[in-house]
Structure 1
Amino acid sequence: MRIISGLHKGKRITAPKKLPVRPTTDMAKEALFNILNNRYYFDDLVVLDLFAGTGNISYEFASRGTKQISAVDADYGCVRFINETSDAMEMGIAAYKSDVFNYLEKSREKANIIFADPPYGLPLESFEKIPKLVFEKELLLENGLLVIEHANQMDLSHLDNFVEKRKYGGSIFSLFANPSED
């Protein structure tokens, strides 16, 4: 994987082969950040990266100037790799070992962007639980965005607060936002 833009643009990061991950492709990541670049100023964001895996998305935010990034993954090897990589590149990412659903249940941390990339093999109910918890716990800041990456065979458009979906190769990004305050 490589960092697409920002301070560490072009930097390649090689994760240990034993990690149980499926990193977001460079093509999909670039498309996602083009969307976000048109909506947000990265320096001001608070980001929560769920099912963080290798930290691919967290590194991209950090490279673009985001200073408050929390990465959550249940695998100790992933969390250790994120911490080591973040420290080596002086990114300041806070990585936590936790079941994502337990983390969301207990978290009081609010974010502008919450990115979730669960294992594609999880059942639909698990994917549906992510926005349910995020909005029940009011974890998105004003004008915030929840992005869930999932396989193109899955549809999350029936869920509350769904805004749109974007397809890139075999992946889809489903976007959710707080209801507009009219």
Structure 2
Amino acid sequence: MPVRIVAGKHRGAKLTAPEGLEVRPTSERAREALFNILEGGRFGLTLRGARVLDLFAGSGALGLEALSRGAAQVVFVENAPTALAALRANIAKLRAAGLTHIRETDATRFLERSPMPADLVLMDPPYGSGLWAESLDTITRGGWVGPETVVAVEVGKKEKVAAPTGYALVDDRRYGAARLILLQKAPAEG
């Protein structure tokens, strides 16, 4: 399945997809819908100048879409060799090396601390794995998630999802086989 950037500076750019049956890039339709939701409506997230963290990055399609739409920096976290090769090729193709950082590690063990929260966290773990919740806990402890951070997670459409403690499920939509859930830190009570 060809993967292309949907909008922004690199609109229409064809990306290299990692080889293998375990790899499932987010569909263009789901990506476009996700970014339309983020940039419009209740979120009104401004991608221009945003700091983005892309976990389970794969080809980098989600993070590179954010970059194409004006994000200032994207940190990609990926550990699969074929995905890393595709990710590096895509970053080179878009001449985005100066705006991106790759961390070769398991997203559930991403212990790097952030000096300030990301504006947007993108997660596209293997469907049915439940790895997103463990990763969310890890990055929350690492300072990557603040009160204004939007966390976007793609899961399989039939997966049962509950907001982890301390988080609110703020949007939930289905696109084909995908389900996009958006989370933010729940307001502190008191």
Q: TM-score, normalised by structure 1?
A: 0.87
Determine which of 14, 21, 24 is the counterpart of 2:23: 21
Q: Match for residue 168 of structure 2?
A: 162
Q: Match for residue 37 of structure 2?
A: 35
Describe the SS at the equivalent of 1:61. Answer: helix
Q: Do the aligned residues in 2 keep the contact of 1:21 with 1:54 (CA within 8 Å)?
A: no
Q: Do the aligned residues in 2 keep the contact of 1:165 with 1:174 (CA within 8 Å)?
A: yes
Q: Match for residue 145 of structure 1?
A: 150
Shift of 1:127: 3.5
Q: Match for residue 104 of structure 2?
A: 97
Aligned sequence identity (%)? 27
Q: Match for residue 56 of structure 1?
A: 61
Describe the SS at the equivalent of 2:4. Answer: coil
CA distance in 1, matches of 2:177, 2:183: 20
Paired residues, number? 178
Q: Do the aligned residues in 2 keep the contact of 1:112 with 1:142 (CA within 8 Å)?
A: no
Describe the SS at the equivalent of 2:185. Answer: coil
Alignment of 1:72 with 2:74, yes or no, is no
Q: Do the aligned residues in 2 keep the contact of 1:4 with 1:60 (CA within 8 Å)?
A: yes
Q: Do the aligned residues in 2 keep the contact of 1:112 with 1:144 (CA within 8 Å)?
A: yes
Write the deviation string for residues 21-75 of structure 1: whole angstroms up to 9, x where unpaired: 1000111111001011122111221100000001111110111111210111111
Query: Structure 1's 13 and 127: CA in aligned 2 closer, same or farther, altered over 3 A?
Result: closer
Q: Do the aligned residues in 2 keep the contact of 1:67 with 1:91 (CA within 8 Å)?
A: no
Give the RMSD, CA atoms, in angstroms.
2.0
Unpaired runs of 5+ residues, structure 1, are none
CA distance in 2, matches of 1:55, 1:78: 8
Query: Structure 1's 30 and 97: CA in aligned 2 closer, same or farther, altered over 3 A?
Result: same
CA distance in 2, matches of 1:127, 1:88: 29
Q: Do the aligned residues in 2 keep the contact of 1:47 with 1:70 (CA within 8 Å)?
A: yes
